[in-house]
């Protein structure tokens, strides 16, 4: 018996605004992701790629279409249950680091566990274990905003991993990094996919990054288009 798809999004449409000012961000988009797969969603700025990620990651809702996670109807979940699923099963790595200002690395990394109601002692133990993997254990008490760009992104990845997620969503994860640091972050994400079987969904306009994934889904003007159909960044 085959495992259910981790993500099964069908005929997803999403618009913003009303009347003549309506913007159709997604138009009847279907995306299916298998367990342990690494998929790149590729397109220019404004193509709809981030909107699609936000919907399949339960950060936004579509106007129409269906979405299931591991065979479960995700759109039928009450808001609290959707938040619980997102916090338990998903990890997020964004171009903007979204670290809480004026707080420590430890506080940032343990935030998902705090939301999940894990005890302070267990939170600290799990955080130190994941920070150790990324050579950041000595930065646990440091102000997160005082770190370098590469260190901040490793903190973000640590936070994404703290709940041992099924899926990591990465939206332009190297966009704010120099090429050398970006390469390290890329290698880290692909190693997590390869060694731990974490499903990886990467949103990017970088075709070199996309080429490292198992599969590329190209989006232009809110629709999925054939491979390389003029969707690379200008």
Residue spans of the domains in the chain: they are 7-220
Per-residue pLDDT tens digits for 16-40: 988 888 999 999 999 999 999 999 9
Q: What is the CATH number of domain 7-220?
A: 3.40.50.300
The full length of the chain comes to: 234
In whole numbers, what is the pLDDT of the chain averaged over residues? Answer: 90
* pTM score, whole prediction: 0.88
Torsions phi, psi for 86 (to 5 deg): -60, -45
- At residue 14 the predicted structure's pLDDT band, cuts being 50, 70 and 90, is very high
pLDDT digits (tens, 9 = 90+) for 52-104: 999 999 999 999 999 999 999 999 999 999 999 998 999 998 877 788 888 99
Q: State how far the Cα of 61 lies from the Cα of 63, in Å rounded to an integer.
A: 7
- Give the residues across from 91 on adjacent strands: 168
Residue found by looking up tokens 């973000």 in the block: 156
Q: CA–CA separation, 227 vs 103, rounded Å? A: 43
């Amino acid at each position: 018996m085959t495992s259910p798809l981790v993500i099964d999004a069908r005929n997803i449409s999403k618009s913003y605004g009303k009347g003549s000012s309506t913007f159709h961000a997604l138009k009847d988009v279907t995306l299916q992701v298998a367990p342990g797969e690494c998929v790149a969603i590729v397109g220019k700025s404004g193509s709809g790629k981030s909107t699609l990620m936000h919907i399949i990651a339960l950060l936004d809702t579509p106007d129409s279409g269906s979405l299931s996670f591991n065979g479960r109807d995700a759109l039928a979940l009450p808001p609290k249950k959707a938040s619980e699923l997102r916090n338990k099963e998903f990890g997020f790595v964004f171009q903007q680091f979204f670290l809480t200002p004026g707080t420590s690395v430890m506080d940032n990394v343990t935030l998902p566990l705090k939301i999940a109601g894990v005890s302070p002692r267990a939170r600290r133990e799990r955080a130190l274990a994941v920070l150790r993997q990324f050579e950041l254990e000595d930065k646990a008490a440091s102000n997160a905003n005082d770190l370098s760009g590469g260190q901040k992104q490793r903190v973000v990845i640590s936070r994404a991993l703290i709940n041992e997620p099924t899926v990591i969503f990465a939206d332009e994860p190297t966009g704010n990094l120099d090429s050398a640091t970006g390469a390290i972050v890329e290698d880290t994400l692909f190693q997590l996919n390869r060694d731990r079987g974490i499903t990886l969904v990467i949103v990017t306009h970088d075709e070199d990054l996309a080429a490292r994934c198992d599969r590329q889904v190209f989006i232009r003007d809110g629709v999925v288009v054939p491979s390389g159909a003029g969707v690379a960044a200008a």
